[in-house]
Structure 1
Amino acid sequence: MRIFISWSGDLSKNIAEIFRQWIPGVIQAAKPYYSPDDITKGTRWSSEISKELDASKIGIICLTKDNLDSNWIMFEAGALSKNIEKSKVVPLLFGIEPSDIQGPLVQFQAARFSKSEMKKVVKMVNSELGETALAPDVIDSVFEMWWPKLESQIKEAEEKAKSVDNKDLRSERDLIEEVLSLTRELSINRRFERERSFHPRAFEDMISSVERLTEAVYENGNFELIEYIRDLHRPLEYFVEEAMNSSPGVRKELYSRYRRSKMLMEELISIPEKRVASRVRKTKPDSDEIK
Protein backbone atom coordinates (compact mmCIF):
# COMPACT_ATOMS: atom_id res chain seq x y z
CA MET A 1 0.00 0.00 0.00
CA ARG A 2 1.41 3.36 -1.05
CA ILE A 3 1.59 6.32 1.34
CA PHE A 4 2.38 9.80 0.03
CA ILE A 5 4.21 12.09 2.47
CA SER A 6 3.74 15.79 1.72
CA TRP A 7 6.15 18.44 3.00
CA SER A 8 7.33 22.00 2.47
CA GLY A 9 10.25 23.73 4.20
CA ASP A 10 13.40 22.44 5.88
CA LEU A 11 11.86 21.17 9.13
CA SER A 12 8.93 19.56 7.31
CA LYS A 13 11.34 17.90 4.87
CA ASN A 14 13.42 16.39 7.68
CA ILE A 15 10.27 15.10 9.37
CA ALA A 16 9.07 13.57 6.09
CA GLU A 17 12.37 11.72 5.67
CA ILE A 18 12.11 10.39 9.25
CA PHE A 19 8.61 9.05 8.57
CA ARG A 20 9.67 7.57 5.24
CA GLN A 21 12.19 5.39 7.07
CA TRP A 22 10.10 4.74 10.19
CA ILE A 23 6.76 3.61 8.74
CA PRO A 24 8.00 0.40 7.03
CA GLY A 25 9.53 -0.69 10.34
CA VAL A 26 6.10 -0.65 11.94
CA ILE A 27 4.06 -1.82 8.94
CA GLN A 28 6.18 -3.64 6.38
CA ALA A 29 3.42 -3.69 3.77
CA ALA A 30 3.36 0.13 3.69
CA LYS A 31 5.37 1.81 0.91
CA PRO A 32 5.90 5.48 1.81
CA TYR A 33 7.01 8.02 -0.79
CA TYR A 34 8.18 11.61 -0.68
CA SER A 35 10.12 13.76 -3.09
CA PRO A 36 13.39 14.91 -1.49
CA ASP A 37 13.91 17.57 -4.16
CA ASP A 38 12.09 20.83 -3.56
CA ILE A 39 13.40 22.18 -6.88
CA THR A 40 11.06 19.80 -8.68
CA LYS A 41 8.15 21.39 -6.85
CA GLY A 42 9.35 24.85 -7.70
CA THR A 43 9.57 24.37 -11.45
CA ARG A 44 7.27 21.85 -13.11
CA TRP A 45 5.40 19.08 -11.37
CA SER A 46 7.15 15.85 -12.36
CA SER A 47 5.26 12.88 -13.80
CA GLU A 48 6.74 10.71 -11.05
CA ILE A 49 5.11 12.79 -8.30
CA SER A 50 1.81 12.88 -10.21
CA LYS A 51 1.80 9.08 -10.50
CA GLU A 52 2.55 8.68 -6.79
CA LEU A 53 -0.29 11.05 -5.88
CA ASP A 54 -2.71 9.02 -8.01
CA ALA A 55 -1.51 5.67 -6.68
CA SER A 56 -1.38 6.58 -2.98
CA LYS A 57 -4.20 5.41 -0.75
CA ILE A 58 -3.07 7.43 2.27
CA GLY A 59 -1.57 10.90 2.49
CA ILE A 60 0.41 12.24 5.43
CA ILE A 61 0.95 16.00 5.46
CA CYS A 62 3.77 17.28 7.69
CA LEU A 63 2.55 20.67 8.88
CA THR A 64 4.70 23.20 10.76
CA LYS A 65 4.29 26.91 11.50
CA ASP A 66 6.39 27.66 8.42
CA ASN A 67 4.31 25.89 5.77
CA LEU A 68 0.66 26.50 6.74
CA ASP A 69 0.21 28.66 3.61
CA SER A 70 2.38 26.56 1.29
CA ASN A 71 0.99 26.24 -2.26
CA TRP A 72 2.67 22.84 -2.66
CA ILE A 73 1.01 21.52 0.49
CA MET A 74 -2.39 22.69 -0.75
CA PHE A 75 -1.84 21.19 -4.21
CA GLU A 76 -0.79 17.79 -2.91
CA ALA A 77 -3.58 17.71 -0.33
CA GLY A 78 -6.11 18.43 -3.06
CA ALA A 79 -4.66 15.74 -5.33
CA LEU A 80 -4.70 13.17 -2.52
CA SER A 81 -8.28 13.92 -1.54
CA LYS A 82 -9.82 14.03 -5.03
CA ASN A 83 -11.40 10.66 -4.33
CA ILE A 84 -12.22 11.08 -0.67
CA GLU A 85 -13.95 7.69 -0.41
CA LYS A 86 -10.82 5.77 -1.37
CA SER A 87 -8.08 7.91 0.18
CA LYS A 88 -7.28 9.02 3.71
CA VAL A 89 -5.45 12.30 4.33
CA VAL A 90 -3.95 13.06 7.74
CA PRO A 91 -2.28 16.41 8.53
CA LEU A 92 0.30 15.81 11.27
CA LEU A 93 0.85 18.91 13.40
CA PHE A 94 4.30 19.83 14.72
CA GLY A 95 4.41 22.84 17.05
CA ILE A 96 0.97 24.06 15.96
CA GLU A 97 -2.66 23.51 16.96
CA PRO A 98 -5.69 22.43 14.87
CA SER A 99 -7.05 25.96 15.26
CA ASP A 100 -4.04 27.26 13.29
CA ILE A 101 -5.13 25.39 10.16
CA GLN A 102 -6.98 27.39 7.53
CA GLY A 103 -8.26 26.92 4.01
CA PRO A 104 -8.76 23.51 2.35
CA LEU A 105 -6.86 21.63 5.06
CA VAL A 106 -9.62 22.18 7.63
CA GLN A 107 -11.68 19.41 5.99
CA PHE A 108 -9.23 16.76 7.22
CA GLN A 109 -8.97 15.25 10.70
CA ALA A 110 -5.63 16.55 11.93
CA ALA A 111 -3.46 14.83 14.54
CA ARG A 112 -0.95 16.41 16.89
CA PHE A 113 2.39 14.67 17.08
CA SER A 114 2.03 12.67 20.30
CA LYS A 115 2.18 9.01 21.23
CA SER A 116 -1.58 8.58 21.51
CA GLU A 117 -2.35 10.42 18.27
CA MET A 118 0.38 8.63 16.32
CA LYS A 119 -0.90 5.29 17.54
CA LYS A 120 -4.33 6.14 16.09
CA VAL A 121 -2.70 7.07 12.77
CA VAL A 122 -0.73 3.82 12.66
CA LYS A 123 -3.86 1.78 13.40
CA MET A 124 -5.72 3.63 10.64
CA VAL A 125 -2.94 2.80 8.17
CA ASN A 126 -2.99 -0.82 9.30
CA SER A 127 -6.76 -1.08 8.88
CA GLU A 128 -6.47 0.03 5.25
CA LEU A 129 -4.50 -3.14 4.50
CA GLY A 130 -7.64 -5.25 4.79
CA GLU A 131 -6.88 -8.99 5.00
CA THR A 132 -3.12 -8.38 5.24
CA ALA A 133 -3.48 -6.08 8.26
CA LEU A 134 -1.61 -6.97 11.45
CA ALA A 135 -3.60 -8.28 14.39
CA PRO A 136 -4.48 -5.62 17.02
CA ASP A 137 -2.14 -7.05 19.66
CA VAL A 138 0.69 -7.27 17.12
CA ILE A 139 0.31 -3.70 15.91
CA ASP A 140 0.24 -2.49 19.53
CA SER A 141 3.44 -4.38 20.32
CA VAL A 142 5.25 -3.21 17.19
CA PHE A 143 4.23 0.40 17.75
CA GLU A 144 5.50 0.35 21.35
CA MET A 145 8.83 -0.97 20.13
CA TRP A 146 9.30 1.65 17.38
CA TRP A 147 7.76 4.73 19.03
CA PRO A 148 10.82 5.78 21.12
CA LYS A 149 12.97 5.98 17.99
CA LEU A 150 10.43 8.15 16.18
CA GLU A 151 9.94 10.44 19.17
CA SER A 152 13.68 10.91 19.59
CA GLN A 153 14.32 11.67 15.91
CA ILE A 154 11.46 14.17 15.66
CA LYS A 155 12.59 15.94 18.82
CA GLU A 156 16.13 16.17 17.45
CA ALA A 157 14.86 17.63 14.15
CA GLU A 158 12.75 20.25 15.98
CA GLU A 159 15.64 21.26 18.26
CA LYS A 160 17.92 21.64 15.25
CA ALA A 161 15.36 23.86 13.52
CA LYS A 162 15.05 26.03 16.64
CA SER A 163 18.83 26.49 16.86
CA VAL A 164 18.93 27.64 13.22
CA ASP A 165 16.09 30.11 13.84
CA ASN A 166 17.88 31.52 16.90
CA LYS A 167 21.11 31.89 14.94
CA ASP A 168 19.33 33.85 12.21
CA LEU A 169 17.66 36.04 14.83
CA ARG A 170 20.97 36.81 16.52
CA SER A 171 22.43 37.70 13.15
CA GLU A 172 19.64 40.21 12.51
CA ARG A 173 20.06 41.68 15.99
CA ASP A 174 23.76 42.11 15.30
CA LEU A 175 22.91 44.04 12.14
CA ILE A 176 20.61 46.31 14.15
CA GLU A 177 23.37 47.01 16.66
CA GLU A 178 25.79 47.77 13.84
CA VAL A 179 23.37 50.21 12.22
CA LEU A 180 22.60 51.95 15.50
CA SER A 181 26.31 52.27 16.24
CA LEU A 182 26.94 53.87 12.86
CA THR A 183 23.96 56.18 13.39
CA ARG A 184 25.37 57.37 16.73
CA GLU A 185 28.77 57.89 15.13
CA LEU A 186 27.29 60.06 12.40
CA SER A 187 25.26 62.01 14.93
CA ILE A 188 28.33 62.77 17.08
CA ASN A 189 30.33 63.86 14.05
CA ARG A 190 27.49 66.14 13.06
CA ARG A 191 27.25 67.71 16.52
CA PHE A 192 30.93 68.34 17.24
CA GLU A 193 32.43 68.68 13.76
CA ARG A 194 29.93 70.74 11.82
CA GLU A 195 32.71 72.58 10.09
CA ARG A 196 34.02 69.41 8.48
CA SER A 197 32.63 68.11 5.22
CA PHE A 198 30.39 65.02 5.34
CA HIS A 199 32.36 61.81 4.75
CA PRO A 200 30.36 59.58 2.35
CA ARG A 201 31.98 56.34 3.55
CA ALA A 202 30.15 56.43 6.86
CA PHE A 203 26.86 56.83 5.05
CA GLU A 204 27.71 54.02 2.62
CA ASP A 205 28.51 51.68 5.54
CA MET A 206 25.24 52.49 7.24
CA ILE A 207 23.09 52.10 4.11
CA SER A 208 24.81 48.75 3.43
CA SER A 209 23.92 47.56 6.92
CA VAL A 210 20.31 48.66 6.51
CA GLU A 211 20.11 46.85 3.16
CA ARG A 212 21.52 43.63 4.64
CA LEU A 213 19.13 43.84 7.56
CA THR A 214 16.15 44.43 5.25
CA GLU A 215 17.11 41.52 2.99
CA ALA A 216 17.65 39.20 5.98
CA VAL A 217 14.23 40.03 7.40
CA TYR A 218 12.65 39.63 3.96
CA GLU A 219 14.24 36.21 3.36
CA ASN A 220 13.53 34.82 6.85
CA GLY A 221 10.04 36.29 7.16
CA ASN A 222 10.88 37.71 10.60
CA PHE A 223 8.39 40.57 10.32
CA GLU A 224 8.62 41.54 14.00
CA LEU A 225 11.70 43.60 13.07
CA ILE A 226 9.84 45.78 10.57
CA GLU A 227 9.45 48.65 13.04
CA TYR A 228 13.22 48.69 13.67
CA ILE A 229 13.84 49.15 9.96
CA ARG A 230 11.20 51.87 9.72
CA ASP A 231 12.88 53.77 12.60
CA LEU A 232 16.30 53.47 10.97
CA HIS A 233 15.06 55.09 7.77
CA ARG A 234 14.17 58.32 9.56
CA PRO A 235 17.79 59.34 10.26
CA LEU A 236 18.76 57.98 6.85
CA GLU A 237 16.59 60.62 5.18
CA TYR A 238 18.54 63.32 7.04
CA PHE A 239 21.96 61.82 6.27
CA VAL A 240 21.29 61.41 2.58
CA GLU A 241 20.43 65.11 2.42
CA GLU A 242 23.68 65.98 4.24
CA ALA A 243 25.70 63.70 1.96
CA MET A 244 24.30 65.29 -1.16
CA ASN A 245 25.05 68.79 0.12
CA SER A 246 28.57 67.93 1.31
CA SER A 247 29.80 65.61 -1.45
CA PRO A 248 28.45 66.55 -4.88
CA GLY A 249 30.62 63.92 -6.57
CA VAL A 250 28.74 61.02 -5.00
CA ARG A 251 25.20 62.39 -5.05
CA LYS A 252 23.77 60.08 -7.68
CA GLU A 253 25.24 56.85 -6.26
CA LEU A 254 24.23 57.57 -2.66
CA TYR A 255 20.74 58.67 -3.56
CA SER A 256 20.25 55.57 -5.74
CA ARG A 257 21.33 53.28 -2.91
CA TYR A 258 19.09 55.09 -0.46
CA ARG A 259 16.07 54.74 -2.77
CA ARG A 260 16.74 51.01 -3.20
CA SER A 261 16.88 50.53 0.56
CA LYS A 262 13.64 52.46 1.04
CA MET A 263 11.87 50.46 -1.66
CA LEU A 264 12.95 47.22 0.02
CA MET A 265 11.61 48.50 3.32
CA GLU A 266 8.25 49.50 1.80
CA GLU A 267 7.93 46.11 0.13
CA LEU A 268 8.73 44.37 3.41
CA ILE A 269 6.16 46.40 5.34
CA SER A 270 3.47 45.58 2.78
CA ILE A 271 3.87 41.79 3.09
CA PRO A 272 1.99 41.29 6.41
CA GLU A 273 -0.69 43.74 5.26
CA LYS A 274 -1.15 41.80 2.02
CA ARG A 275 -1.42 38.54 3.96
CA VAL A 276 -4.10 40.00 6.24
CA ALA A 277 -6.02 41.36 3.25
CA SER A 278 -5.75 37.97 1.52
CA ARG A 279 -7.15 36.17 4.55
CA VAL A 280 -10.00 38.68 4.83
CA ARG A 281 -10.89 38.07 1.19
CA LYS A 282 -10.86 34.32 1.79
CA THR A 283 -13.24 34.55 4.74
CA LYS A 284 -15.50 37.30 3.30
CA PRO A 285 -18.79 35.80 1.93
CA ASP A 286 -19.74 36.36 -1.68
CA SER A 287 -22.30 39.01 -2.48
CA ASP A 288 -24.76 36.30 -3.52
CA GLU A 289 -24.47 34.68 -0.11
CA ILE A 290 -25.15 37.97 1.63
CA LYS A 291 -28.33 38.40 -0.35
Structure 2
Amino acid sequence: MDKVAIVIDSASCLPQEIKNDYQIEVIPLNIHSQGKTHQDGINITPQQIYSLQAADETVTTSAPSPGTIVESFHRLAEKTREILRLTVASTYSATFSSIQSAIDIAKRELPKLRIELIDCCTGSAAQALIALTAARASALGKDLNEIISKVKQAIPKVKISLVLDTLKYLQKSGRAPKIGAWATSLLKLKPVVADRMGHAHLLGMVRSRTQGIDRLVKAMKQKVGRKKINIIVVHSDLEDEAEELEHRLLGEFNCHEIYVTEVSSVVATHIGPGAIGIAFCPEE
Protein backbone atom coordinates (compact mmCIF):
# COMPACT_ATOMS: atom_id res chain seq x y z
CA MET A 1 0.00 0.00 0.00
CA ASP A 2 1.28 3.50 -0.83
CA LYS A 3 2.25 5.67 2.10
CA VAL A 4 0.02 8.54 3.12
CA ALA A 5 1.29 11.75 1.51
CA ILE A 6 1.91 14.61 3.94
CA VAL A 7 1.39 18.08 2.49
CA ILE A 8 1.96 21.43 4.19
CA ASP A 9 2.33 25.06 3.16
CA SER A 10 5.39 27.27 3.10
CA ALA A 11 4.34 29.10 6.27
CA SER A 12 5.74 26.05 8.09
CA CYS A 13 9.38 27.05 7.48
CA LEU A 14 10.03 23.33 7.06
CA PRO A 15 13.75 22.47 7.41
CA GLN A 16 15.13 21.09 4.16
CA GLU A 17 16.39 17.95 5.91
CA ILE A 18 12.88 17.01 7.04
CA LYS A 19 11.42 17.75 3.63
CA ASN A 20 14.01 15.58 1.90
CA ASP A 21 14.00 12.71 4.40
CA TYR A 22 10.22 12.30 4.38
CA GLN A 23 9.30 13.60 0.89
CA ILE A 24 6.90 16.15 2.33
CA GLU A 25 5.15 18.26 -0.29
CA VAL A 26 5.32 22.00 0.42
CA ILE A 27 2.81 24.30 -1.31
CA PRO A 28 4.02 27.91 -1.60
CA LEU A 29 1.97 30.84 -0.38
CA ASN A 30 1.94 34.02 -2.45
CA ILE A 31 3.88 37.21 -1.80
CA HIS A 32 2.95 40.51 -3.43
CA SER A 33 5.18 43.56 -3.84
CA GLN A 34 5.89 46.24 -6.43
CA GLY A 35 3.01 45.05 -8.58
CA LYS A 36 4.33 41.49 -8.82
CA THR A 37 3.23 38.18 -7.32
CA HIS A 38 5.86 35.69 -6.20
CA GLN A 39 5.67 32.15 -4.87
CA ASP A 40 7.31 31.59 -1.51
CA GLY A 41 10.47 29.52 -1.87
CA ILE A 42 10.16 29.39 -5.66
CA ASN A 43 11.06 32.82 -6.98
CA ILE A 44 11.59 34.95 -3.89
CA THR A 45 13.89 34.53 -0.88
CA PRO A 46 13.79 35.82 2.69
CA GLN A 47 16.80 38.02 1.88
CA GLN A 48 14.79 39.73 -0.86
CA ILE A 49 11.99 40.31 1.64
CA TYR A 50 14.40 41.96 4.08
CA SER A 51 15.66 44.23 1.28
CA LEU A 52 12.11 45.25 0.38
CA GLN A 53 11.37 45.97 4.04
CA ALA A 54 14.55 48.03 4.40
CA ALA A 55 13.41 50.10 1.42
CA ASP A 56 10.00 50.52 3.11
CA GLU A 57 8.25 48.77 0.23
CA THR A 58 4.80 47.34 0.87
CA VAL A 59 4.85 43.54 1.01
CA THR A 60 1.73 41.43 1.51
CA THR A 61 0.89 37.74 1.41
CA SER A 62 -2.02 35.60 0.29
CA ALA A 63 -3.13 31.98 0.24
CA PRO A 64 -2.52 29.77 -2.79
CA SER A 65 -5.50 29.59 -5.12
CA PRO A 66 -7.78 26.54 -5.07
CA GLY A 67 -6.59 25.80 -8.61
CA THR A 68 -2.95 25.64 -7.53
CA ILE A 69 -3.88 23.32 -4.68
CA VAL A 70 -5.92 21.05 -6.95
CA GLU A 71 -2.90 20.77 -9.26
CA SER A 72 -0.86 19.49 -6.31
CA PHE A 73 -3.56 16.90 -5.58
CA HIS A 74 -3.37 15.67 -9.18
CA ARG A 75 0.41 15.27 -8.92
CA LEU A 76 0.16 13.35 -5.68
CA ALA A 77 -2.67 11.16 -6.97
CA GLU A 78 -0.12 9.53 -9.28
CA LYS A 79 1.73 8.21 -6.21
CA THR A 80 -0.82 7.74 -3.44
CA ARG A 81 -4.51 7.28 -2.69
CA GLU A 82 -4.46 9.22 0.60
CA ILE A 83 -3.33 12.74 1.49
CA LEU A 84 -3.13 14.51 4.83
CA ARG A 85 -3.11 18.26 4.29
CA LEU A 86 -1.79 20.25 7.25
CA THR A 87 -2.30 24.01 7.20
CA VAL A 88 -1.06 27.09 8.98
CA ALA A 89 -3.58 28.32 11.56
CA SER A 90 -6.79 29.51 9.93
CA THR A 91 -6.59 32.56 12.21
CA TYR A 92 -3.37 33.59 10.45
CA SER A 93 -4.17 32.82 6.83
CA ALA A 94 -6.97 32.08 4.38
CA THR A 95 -5.07 28.97 3.29
CA PHE A 96 -7.42 26.65 5.18
CA SER A 97 -10.47 28.05 3.36
CA SER A 98 -8.71 27.88 0.00
CA ILE A 99 -7.89 24.21 0.58
CA GLN A 100 -11.48 23.45 1.56
CA SER A 101 -12.57 24.83 -1.82
CA ALA A 102 -9.86 22.81 -3.57
CA ILE A 103 -10.97 19.61 -1.84
CA ASP A 104 -14.52 20.14 -3.10
CA ILE A 105 -13.14 20.32 -6.65
CA ALA A 106 -10.85 17.33 -6.11
CA LYS A 107 -13.75 15.17 -4.95
CA ARG A 108 -15.24 15.55 -8.42
CA GLU A 109 -12.01 15.28 -10.40
CA LEU A 110 -10.27 12.64 -8.25
CA PRO A 111 -13.03 10.55 -6.67
CA LYS A 112 -10.67 7.75 -5.61
CA LEU A 113 -8.37 10.11 -3.71
CA ARG A 114 -9.01 10.57 0.02
CA ILE A 115 -7.94 13.97 1.33
CA GLU A 116 -8.10 14.95 4.99
CA LEU A 117 -7.54 18.54 6.13
CA ILE A 118 -6.29 19.61 9.56
CA ASP A 119 -5.78 23.13 10.89
CA CYS A 120 -2.50 23.01 12.84
CA CYS A 121 -3.62 26.01 14.95
CA THR A 122 -0.08 27.39 14.72
CA GLY A 123 2.53 28.28 12.14
CA SER A 124 6.22 28.51 11.34
CA ALA A 125 8.47 25.87 12.90
CA ALA A 126 5.70 24.64 15.21
CA GLN A 127 3.72 23.62 12.14
CA ALA A 128 6.86 21.91 10.83
CA LEU A 129 7.10 19.79 13.99
CA ILE A 130 3.50 18.70 13.53
CA ALA A 131 4.31 17.73 9.95
CA LEU A 132 7.32 15.77 11.23
CA THR A 133 5.04 13.81 13.57
CA ALA A 134 2.74 12.96 10.66
CA ALA A 135 5.56 12.10 8.26
CA ARG A 136 7.22 9.76 10.73
CA ALA A 137 3.96 7.90 11.26
CA SER A 138 3.45 7.63 7.51
CA ALA A 139 6.99 6.31 7.04
CA LEU A 140 6.21 3.60 9.60
CA GLY A 141 3.24 2.50 7.53
CA LYS A 142 0.52 3.87 9.80
CA ASP A 143 -2.84 4.32 8.14
CA LEU A 144 -4.41 7.73 7.66
CA ASN A 145 -6.71 7.47 10.67
CA GLU A 146 -3.78 6.60 12.94
CA ILE A 147 -1.75 9.52 11.57
CA ILE A 148 -4.64 11.92 12.12
CA SER A 149 -4.90 10.74 15.72
CA LYS A 150 -1.19 11.38 16.31
CA VAL A 151 -1.40 14.84 14.75
CA LYS A 152 -4.39 15.83 16.88
CA GLN A 153 -2.52 14.69 19.98
CA ALA A 154 0.56 16.68 18.95
CA ILE A 155 -1.13 20.00 18.14
CA PRO A 156 -1.74 21.21 21.73
CA LYS A 157 1.71 20.00 22.83
CA VAL A 158 3.77 21.92 20.26
CA LYS A 159 5.00 25.32 21.45
CA ILE A 160 6.77 28.19 19.72
CA SER A 161 8.10 31.49 21.06
CA LEU A 162 10.26 34.12 19.42
CA VAL A 163 12.28 37.20 20.20
CA LEU A 164 11.57 39.78 17.51
CA ASP A 165 13.55 42.86 16.63
CA THR A 166 10.31 44.83 16.35
CA LEU A 167 6.54 44.38 16.30
CA LYS A 168 6.34 46.66 13.25
CA TYR A 169 5.71 43.88 10.74
CA LEU A 170 3.27 41.92 12.88
CA GLN A 171 1.44 45.19 13.39
CA LYS A 172 1.20 45.75 9.64
CA SER A 173 -0.38 42.31 9.24
CA GLY A 174 -2.87 42.99 12.04
CA ARG A 175 -1.41 40.39 14.40
CA ALA A 176 0.08 42.57 17.14
CA PRO A 177 -1.37 45.03 19.67
CA LYS A 178 -0.78 48.66 18.68
CA ILE A 179 0.54 49.59 22.10
CA GLY A 180 3.18 46.87 21.73
CA ALA A 181 4.39 48.18 18.39
CA TRP A 182 4.47 51.74 19.75
CA ALA A 183 6.46 50.74 22.82
CA THR A 184 9.08 48.71 20.97
CA SER A 185 9.64 51.54 18.52
CA LEU A 186 9.86 54.32 21.09
CA LEU A 187 11.71 52.49 23.85
CA LYS A 188 13.95 50.34 21.61
CA LEU A 189 12.76 47.16 23.31
CA LYS A 190 12.59 43.73 21.72
CA PRO A 191 9.26 41.92 22.03
CA VAL A 192 8.99 38.31 23.12
CA VAL A 193 5.97 36.67 21.50
CA ALA A 194 4.39 33.23 21.58
CA ASP A 195 1.74 31.44 19.58
CA ARG A 196 -1.18 30.08 21.56
CA MET A 197 -3.43 27.96 19.36
CA GLY A 198 -3.35 30.32 16.42
CA HIS A 199 -3.06 33.66 18.21
CA ALA A 200 0.09 35.73 18.73
CA HIS A 201 0.56 36.84 22.33
CA LEU A 202 3.02 39.41 23.62
CA LEU A 203 4.81 37.81 26.58
CA GLY A 204 6.89 40.85 27.42
CA MET A 205 9.71 43.08 26.26
CA VAL A 206 13.45 42.87 26.81
CA ARG A 207 16.34 45.21 26.24
CA SER A 208 18.47 42.78 24.28
CA ARG A 209 18.15 39.67 22.13
CA THR A 210 20.32 37.79 24.62
CA GLN A 211 17.87 38.56 27.42
CA GLY A 212 15.03 37.40 25.21
CA ILE A 213 16.72 34.10 24.37
CA ASP A 214 17.42 33.51 28.07
CA ARG A 215 13.72 34.02 28.72
CA LEU A 216 12.75 31.50 26.02
CA VAL A 217 15.16 28.89 27.39
CA LYS A 218 13.97 29.41 30.97
CA ALA A 219 10.34 28.97 29.92
CA MET A 220 11.26 25.77 28.05
CA LYS A 221 12.94 24.32 31.13
CA GLN A 222 9.84 25.00 33.19
CA LYS A 223 7.68 23.17 30.64
CA VAL A 224 9.81 20.15 29.71
CA GLY A 225 12.54 19.69 32.32
CA ARG A 226 14.58 16.66 31.22
CA LYS A 227 11.90 15.12 29.02
CA LYS A 228 13.05 14.05 25.57
CA ILE A 229 12.03 16.69 23.02
CA ASN A 230 12.28 17.66 19.37
CA ILE A 231 13.36 21.22 18.61
CA ILE A 232 13.53 23.58 15.66
CA VAL A 233 15.47 26.81 16.05
CA VAL A 234 14.05 29.31 13.59
CA HIS A 235 15.50 32.68 12.66
CA SER A 236 15.29 35.59 10.25
CA ASP A 237 18.77 36.56 9.05
CA LEU A 238 20.48 35.46 12.28
CA GLU A 239 22.27 32.30 11.18
CA ASP A 240 25.23 32.59 13.56
CA GLU A 241 23.05 33.31 16.58
CA ALA A 242 20.75 30.42 15.64
CA GLU A 243 23.66 27.98 15.48
CA GLU A 244 24.91 29.22 18.86
CA LEU A 245 21.44 28.66 20.30
CA GLU A 246 21.36 25.16 18.82
CA HIS A 247 24.60 24.28 20.65
CA ARG A 248 23.23 25.73 23.88
CA LEU A 249 20.01 23.73 23.64
CA LEU A 250 21.93 20.53 22.93
CA GLY A 251 23.80 21.08 26.19
CA GLU A 252 20.83 22.05 28.34
CA PHE A 253 18.03 19.77 27.10
CA ASN A 254 17.41 16.12 26.35
CA CYS A 255 17.17 16.59 22.58
CA HIS A 256 15.93 13.72 20.44
CA GLU A 257 16.21 15.76 17.24
CA ILE A 258 17.14 19.38 16.66
CA TYR A 259 17.11 21.45 13.48
CA VAL A 260 18.00 25.02 12.53
CA THR A 261 16.13 26.79 9.75
CA GLU A 262 15.57 30.27 8.40
CA VAL A 263 11.99 31.47 8.18
CA SER A 264 10.25 31.20 4.85
CA SER A 265 9.70 34.35 2.81
CA VAL A 266 6.05 34.57 3.85
CA VAL A 267 6.93 34.43 7.55
CA ALA A 268 9.75 36.93 6.99
CA THR A 269 7.10 39.29 5.62
CA HIS A 270 5.24 39.19 8.92
CA ILE A 271 8.10 39.26 11.44
CA GLY A 272 10.93 41.06 9.63
CA PRO A 273 14.67 40.49 10.06
CA GLY A 274 16.44 40.01 13.37
CA ALA A 275 14.09 37.45 14.91
CA ILE A 276 14.99 34.16 16.57
CA GLY A 277 12.78 31.55 18.15
CA ILE A 278 12.35 28.01 19.40
CA ALA A 279 9.66 25.49 18.52
CA PHE A 280 9.57 22.30 20.56
CA CYS A 281 7.43 19.31 21.37
CA PRO A 282 7.83 16.15 23.44
CA GLU A 283 9.15 13.06 21.70
CA GLU A 284 6.50 10.36 21.96
Work out whether the TM-score is over 0.5. Answer: no
Higher gyration radius (CA) = 1
TM-score by length of 2: 0.29
Between Structure 1 and Structure 2, which shows a larger proportion of strand residues?
A: 2
Structure number with higher relative contact order (C-alpha < 8 Å, ≥ 6 residues apart): 2
Between Structure 1 and Structure 2, which shows a larger proportion of helix residues?
A: 1
